[in-house]
């Protein structure tokens, strides 16, 4: 699950020794990002981000870099670390990072009052690049893989009411009890957006979280009618759930893309290596890898290696 934009937090001291492939300390920054230098990949604390960090580290290590992974809890910690060069590269979500930097640059109300992201990938990446460059960050190319907020109902509910899109749901005039996070009532992509964009009547929000087992079970059991989750949710089928298409583009373009420290890791070789992965990665690939970790209890490093090997992306 992605992190919400906005908010600030003081960056904590980073550990001296990173984990992963190169095993070098953050003080060993010589030749980072160039030639066969060291590269530190930031990894936030949720499954998909851990997998992406492993993908980046392994493909870079295979290409001749000395790649390592530095765990950092959330964007409030890893983004300042990236600006300072304490880490070199992170996998990111275009729209979410764009609004995070929008809030950082223009104040916490900016994402709601003057958003820079939209459902248009090119425009969102352009807006992100404009905000990132003055901070010493380089935004690399976005691919087709995308992790957006999404809404799911049971297959039976969808079939009974002839629903395939959120527009269908709005036109049905059904009253909807929604399982989501506490903030859903205020977030423009959630309850207010459903009402404004689709005319969906959310009568109650059950605060069971975004894409949690509890939310899915509540919808499966009929306690709730719909839940907020993400497009890379790996276990929807296990609960008999299906996504309703966001046919009017309520959700922003959260395509996955690498963001690097321009000074330390802005070289053409590193960009070319990561671009090979970006070009082949799909939303379904992310969902499948998430499932392997969350449902099948495989390790992110093993899942990443298996994927890279299957796609022919390893082998110097």
pTM for the structure as a whole = 0.80
Q: Are residues 132 and 51 in the same domain?
A: yes
pLDDT band at 316 (very low <50, low <70, confident <90, very high): low
Domain final residue pick, 244, 269, 291? 244
Q: Which of 59-63, 163-167, 292-296 has the lowest mean pLDDT?
A: 292-296
Confidence at residue 2, expressed as pLDDT on a 0 to 100 scale: 54
Q: Are residues 31 and 163 in the same domain?
A: no
What domain count does the chain have? Answer: 2
Q: Are residues 157 and 103 in the same domain?
A: no
Q: Are residues 187 and 276 in the same domain?
A: no
Confidence at residue 17, expressed as pLDDT on a 0 to 100 scale: 37
Is 278 inside any structural domain? yes
Q: Which domain holds residue 223?
A: 149-244
Is 3 inside any structural domain? no
* 61 or 47: which leads in pLDDT: 61
Confidence at residue 44, expressed as pLDDT on a 0 to 100 scale: 87
Q: Are residues 215 and 261 in the same domain?
A: no
Confidence at residue 74, expressed as pLDDT on a 0 to 100 scale: 82
Q: Residue length, the chain?
A: 316
Q: Report the CATH number that the domain containing residue 236 is assigned in CATH.
A: 3.40.190.120
Is 276 inside any structural domain? yes
Q: Are residues 267 and 128 in the same domain?
A: yes
Q: Which of 51-55, 112-116, 239-243 has the lowest mean pLDDT?
A: 112-116
Q: Report the CATH number that the domain containing residue 82 is assigned in CATH.
A: 3.40.190.10
C-alpha to C-alpha distance for 111 and 95, rounded to whole angstroms: 10
Asked if residue 167 lies in contact with residue 247, where contact means CB atoms within 8 angstroms, the answer is yes
For the chain, the average pLDDT equals 88
Is 4 inside any structural domain? no
Examine the pLDDT at 314 and tell me if it is beyond 60.
yes
Confidence at residue 90, expressed as pLDDT on a 0 to 100 scale: 97
Q: Are residues 120 and 35 in the same domain?
A: yes
């Amino acid at each position: 699950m992605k992190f919400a934009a906005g908010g600030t937090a003081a960056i904590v001291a980073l550990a001296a020794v990173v984990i992963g492939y190169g095993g070098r300390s953050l003080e060993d920054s010589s030749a980072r990002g160039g030639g066969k230098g060291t590269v530190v990949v930031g990894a936030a604390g949720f499954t998909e981000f851990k997998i992406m960090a492993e993908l980046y580290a392994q493909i870079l290590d295979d290409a001749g870099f000395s790649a390592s992974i530095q765990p950092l809890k959330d964007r409030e910690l890893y983004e300042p670390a990236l600006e300072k060069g304490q880490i070199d590269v992170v996998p990111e979500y275009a729209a979410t990072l764009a609004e995070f930097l929008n809030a950082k640059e223009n104040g916490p109300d900016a994402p709601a009052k003057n958003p820079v992201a939209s459902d248009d990938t090119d425009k969102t990446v352009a807006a992100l690049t404009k905000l990132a460059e003055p901070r010493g960050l380089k935004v690399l190319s976005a691919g087709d893989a995308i992790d957006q907020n999404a809404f799911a109902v049971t297959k039976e509910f969808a079939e009974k009411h002839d629903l395939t899109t959120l527009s269908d749901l709005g036109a049905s005039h059904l009253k909807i009890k929604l399982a989501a996070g506490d903030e859903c009532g205020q977030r423009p992509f959630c309850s207010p957006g459903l009402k404004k964009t689709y005319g969906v009547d959310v009568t109650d929000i059950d605060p069971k979280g975004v894409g949690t087992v509890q939310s899915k079970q509540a919808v499966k059991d009929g306690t709730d009618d719909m839940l907020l989750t993400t497009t890379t949710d790996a276990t929807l089928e296990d609960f008999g759930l299906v996504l309703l298409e966001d046919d009017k583009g309520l959700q922003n373009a959260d395509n996955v893309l690498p963001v690097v420290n321009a000074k330390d890791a802005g070289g053409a070789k590193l960009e070319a290596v990561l671009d090979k992965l970006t070009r082949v990665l799909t939303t379904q690939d992310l969902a499948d890898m998430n499932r392997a970790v969350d449902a099948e209890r495989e390790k992110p490093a093993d899942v990443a290696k298996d994927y890279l090997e299957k796609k022919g992306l390893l082998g110097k």
